[in-house]
A and B are shown apart, each in its own frame.
Chain A
Amino acid sequence: MNHALASRHSWFEASARTRLAGLLDAGSFREILPPAESQPSPHLAQLDLPGAFDDGVIVGGGRLSGQSVLVAAQEGQFMGGAVGEIHGAKIVGLLRRAVKEKPAAVLFLIDSGGVRLHEANAGLIAISEIMRAVLEARAAGVPVIALVGGSCGAFGGMGIVAKLCSAILMSEEGRLALSGPEVIETVAGVEEFDAKDRALVWRVTGGKHRYLMGDCAALLEDDIAAFRNGAAEFLAAWHEPEPGLACLRARQSVLEKRLAAYASYRDGLQVWAALGIAQPETVPMLDRDSLVALKEGLPT
C-alpha cells in the first residue's frame, strides 16, 4: 500500500463531525446550537424513537483556506440524514444568516434521504424553505457549495436542494437522484429498477455518471483532504452569477437537448457511449484521475 492510500481518510465512512474537522482550517469550527444547548426532536420522542441533540445536522462557522465560511453537515448515521422540523430549521437559519453575514461561501455537506417520514409535513415544508433560502443566499452573492459523498447520498427533496446549489462536488461513492432505487423497485417492479444491483445503481445515480453528464461540477476522491482541496479550489475560481433570464434560458436549452437525445436510455452505459466514450464498460473501473482525463478529452 502506498503512502497516499495509507493516509487517506474516507469521507464516505466518516461522521459529519469528522468531515467538518478535516474540511475546515484546523481548530476554526464554531458550532451554533451545539448539542449541549439543543434539544432532540419531540416528534421522534412521541413515537418512542431515540433522538439526537443535534437532530442529525451540525451548523456553524469556520475557515476554509483562511476564508470565512458557514457550514451545515448532515449526519447520515442518524435517521438517514433525513430532514425533520429542527433539522430543517437549523439549515434554513444558517442560510438566512449567510444573507446578512456574507461569508465567502456556505458549504453544505449533504448526506440525506430527504424528508424524515416521522415528521413528514414539517420535513417537506422545511425542504421547501431550504430551497428558497439557498436561492436567497445565492441571489445575495453567497455561493452555496454542495459536497456529496456520504453513505446516504442526496435523495428526495435533498436531491433537489443539491441541484439548486451553485455547484455540487461529489465523490464516485456519492449518489445523487430524486427517488431512491428501493422506492422505484417497490412501486414499479424489480424489472424497472433492481435496487440490489449495486453496479446498476451507481451507473444511474453515482458520482462518475453525474460527473460525465455535467450534473456535478467536480469529481473528487473519497478522501476528506480531497474534499477540502476541491472546495477551496472551486471557490477560488468561482464568482456567483446574478440570477437572470439568460442563464436559465441556457440551462433550459441544455436540459431539453439532453432529454431529446437520451430519453429512451435506461443505463449509464448507453449515455456514456452517446457522449463519445469508446469503451463505456471500462468507466466503472477507472480511477478518479483517469475518469477526469477521459471527460476532458470528450467532444463538447
Chain B
Amino acid sequence: MSLNDILDALFPAGHAVAVANQVITGEAQTAQGPVAVLGTTDAAAIDHAMALALASFVLDTVERHPGRPLVFLVDTSGQALSRGQELLCLNGSLAHLASCVDLARRQGHPSLSLVTANAVSGGFLSFGLMADKAFALAEAQVRVMDLRAMARVTKIAHERLVDLATASPIFAPGAENYLRMGGIEAIWPAPSAALLESALTTVRQTLPASDQRMGVGLTRGGRQLAAGIAKIVQSTRVGA
C-alpha cells in the first residue's frame, strides 16, 4: 500500500505531508483537531540525517503547537549499517530522537505509532516504540531478525526455531507476537480513520502515559515473567 493511500485512509479530512530522504513530516486533520504526522517510509534504514530530521520536527511541534498529538508512521528496516554512521555515534542520534519523543510526552503531547510495513530493531526503538501506544497494520513485519539469520547467529537449526515459534511469541518475527508481549497495543486490518480516532481518544484518556507494556504482556500471556520480576526488584526491602 502506498504512503498516500495510507494517509488518505487515515485522514480523509485532509493531510499535508512532505517526504524527503524517506522522512515523513507534516500535519493532518482529524475529528479531534490537527495532528502532527511524522515517520519514515520505504523501509528506511535510519541514519543520522533521518533521526535528526525527525527529532527537529518533534521539537518544532513541541515549541509551536503545545499539546498537538503526534502520529508516527513506522516503516523502517532498522538502522543504517555503515562505518561512517557508527563513527559519528549513530546510537547517539537515535537516543536524541527518543529523548525528543519523551520530552513531547512530558509536555502533554499524546502520541501513537502505526507500523505500516516494517519495524525492525534500532529503527523501531528510536521512535515507534517510544510512542504512548504502538499499533500495526495486519500485513506489517515486526522483528529483530528473521528466523534464518537468527538460526545462523544462534547456531540453532532453522527448523527447530520454526517449530518453537508456533508455540512461543518470545523470539519469532510477527506483529501478532508483539501484540501478545505487550509491545503492540492492537493490530488493524487496514488503515482506518475510525480506528485512528478511537486510538487517539484512548491515548488522550490515559494521559499522562506511563509504561504499561509489562502488565499488558502478562494479561495477554505473552510475557509471563517480566511484570512480576520488575515488581519484586522495585519494591523488595533491602537491608542497610
Q: Which residues of A contact B (CB under 8 A)?
A: 30, 32-33, 42-43, 46-47, 59-61, 85-86, 88-90, 92-94, 96-97, 100, 115, 117-129, 131-133, 135-136, 139, 154, 156-157, 159-164, 176-179, 181, 183-184, 187-188, 192-193, 204-205, 209-210, 213, 215, 243-245, 248-249, 251-252, 255-256, 258-259, 262-268, 271
A33–B86 CB distance below 8 A: no
Q: Bound state CA distance, A181 and B92, in angstroms? A: 17
B240 CB to nearest A CB, Å = 8
Task: Find out whether the CB atom of B52 lies under 8 angstroms from the CB atom of A252.
Answer: yes
- CB-CB contacts of B64-103 with A at 8 A, as 1s and 0s? 0000000000000001011111111111111110111011
Q: How far is the CA of A267 from the CA of B88 in the complex (A)?
A: 10
Distance to closest chain B CB from A11 (angstroms): 21
Taking CB as reference atom, which chain B residue is nearest A120?
Answer: B144
* Closest chain A CB from B49 CB (angstroms): 7
Q: How far is the CA of A209 from the CA of B213 in the complex (A)?
A: 37
CA distance A268 to B84 in the complex (A): 10
Residues of chain B at the chain A interface (Cβ within 8 Å): 48-49, 52, 55-56, 59, 62-63, 79, 81-96, 98-100, 102-103, 106-107, 121-122, 124-126, 129-130, 143-145, 150, 153-154, 156, 160, 164, 168-172, 177-178, 181-183, 211, 213-214, 217, 223, 225-227, 229-236, 238-240
A93 nearest in chain B by CB position: B233
Q: How far is the CA of A193 from the CA of B80 in the complex (A)?
A: 13
Known contacts A126-B226, A133-B211; A32 and B86 CB within 8 A of each other: no
Q: For A129, what are the chain B residues with a Cβ–Cβ distance below 8 Å?
A: 211, 213-214
Chain A residues with CB below 8 A from B48, complex form:
255, 259, 263
Tell me if A117 and B171 are in contact (CB < 8 A): yes
What separation, in Å, do the CA atoms of A103 and B150 have in the docked complex?
A: 39
Our pick among B91, B107, B129, B233 for the contact of A163 (Cβ within 8 Å) is: B91
Complex CA gap A268/B238 in Å reads 45
CA distance A133 to B59 in the complex (A): 21
Which residue in chain B gives the minimum CB-CB distance to A210? B89
List chain B residues, Cβ under 8 A from A90: 229-230, 233
Contacts of A215 in B (CB 8 A): 89, 92
Nearest chain A CB to B169 CB, angstrom units: 6
Chain A nearest CB: distance from B68 CB in Å? Answer: 14
Name 15 extra pairs, CB < 8 A, besides A86-B226, A117-B153, A163-B96.
A86-B229, A89-B229, A117-B144, A117-B171, A121-B144, A121-B178, A125-B129, A126-B226, A159-B91, A160-B91, A164-B98, A178-B85, A205-B86, A210-B89, A251-B99
List B contacts of A135 (CB < 8 A).
98-99, 102
Q: How far is the CB of B130 from chain A (nearest CB, A)?
A: 7
Measured between beta carbons, the chain A residues less than 8 angstroms from B229 are 33, 86, 89-90, 93
Q: How far is the CB of B181 from chain A (nearest CB, A)?
A: 5
A89 touches B238 (CB 8 A): no
On whether the beta carbons of B89 and A259 are closer than 8 Å, the reply is no
| A122 touches which of B62, B89, B226 (Cβ 8 Å) | B226
* Residue with the greatest number of chain B CB neighbours at <10 A, chosen from A32, A159, A179: A179
Chain B's closest residue to A99 (CB) is: B234
**B227 engages A89 (CB within 8 Å):** yes
A122 in contact with B125 given A85-B225, A265-B87 (CB within 8 Å): no
